[in-house]
Amino acid sequence: MDTILRRKLTLTLTLTLLCLAAPAHAQVYFDFTSGGVTSGSSFGNSITFTSGDVTLKATSWADTGANDTFESARIRSWASYGLGSCNRNEGSNCSNPEHQFDNYGDHDYALFVLTGGTSEVLFNTITLDPYNTWDRDVSFWIGTIDPGLDLTGYDKMDLAMLGFGAQMDVFNSRSSAAIEIALNNISGNALLIAPNADQTSTYYRHVDRFKITGLEAEEMARVPEPATMFLFGGGLLGGALIRKRRPGLTVES
């Protein structure tokens, strides 16, 4: 009986520890081609999307300020075409093709900040769709930032100080086809993405333009504090030992 009890105890503890250790990664997907709640209708506005218990706030920015510092832009939803942006030099009601995220003239940026749920996610992929045939080179930064961060007045060199990780570049061919960009499962609560700005030429083959149609991520598991794990494990162990000491205990098989 002791052996059976010991086996049961070991199994219970093992399963308990496995459950605590195994991350229950909930997948979140934000479809930017439908839904979304728009707040404000000019520069500095936002569009909010939800997936499960996670809320995503999308805003757009551009280096239209003095010395290429960031200023808020107007993020817009073009229904099934996804999200685009009009910056201060394009005008808040800019039209095709400037209403995409583009690097013709100034450099447009999309900022996605997550709140609710575990907030921290692993960023999986983002889908971009050029509206017509354009280059599709992108740069992105992922990090854990103040969810209320206002980028006004900062520039690209300040991103690390604000909590973003290193700039990641993905170069793609010129095409009218949508493309899924791997975000390398980097963790954080924020993603900043822009057409790659390294090619300064306005030669048409270098100009990158796209709308953004979807973002896929997975919630990080809530990692229990070591103290909690110890107490939880210790509680189970204690309970089992008390039961073991009780006379006439029948072990269910």
Q: Interface residues with Ca ion (CB under 5 A)? A: 63, 68, 85, 98, 102, 104-106, 108, 135, 137, 199, 206, 208
Q: Quick one: how many helices (H) and strands (E) in the chain? A: 2, 15
CA nearest to 190, candidates 246, 236, 143? 143
Could you tell me the smallest distance in angstroms from the CB atom of residue 53 to Ca ion? 32
CB of 184 to Ca ion, least distance (A): 20
List residues bridging with 56 in a β-sheet.
Answer: 49, 114
Residues 118 and 51: beta-carbon distance below 8 Å: no
Q: What is the closest distance, in whole angstroms, from the C-beta atom of residue 59 to Ca ion in the complex?
A: 14
Name the minimum Å distance from CB 166 to Ca ion: 20
> Which is nearer to Ca ion, 85 or 118 (by Cβ)?
85
Nearer to Ca ion, 104 or 141 (CB): 104
Nearer to Ca ion, 105 or 233 (CB): 105
User: Quick one: which of 138, 139, 196, 188 has its CA closest to 164?
Assistant: 188
In this structure, which amino acid lies at residue 22?
Answer: A
Beta carbon nearer to Ca ion, 68 or 120: 68
Three-state DSSP state, 36: coil
Q: How many angstroms separate the CA atoms of 68 and 159, rounded?
A: 14
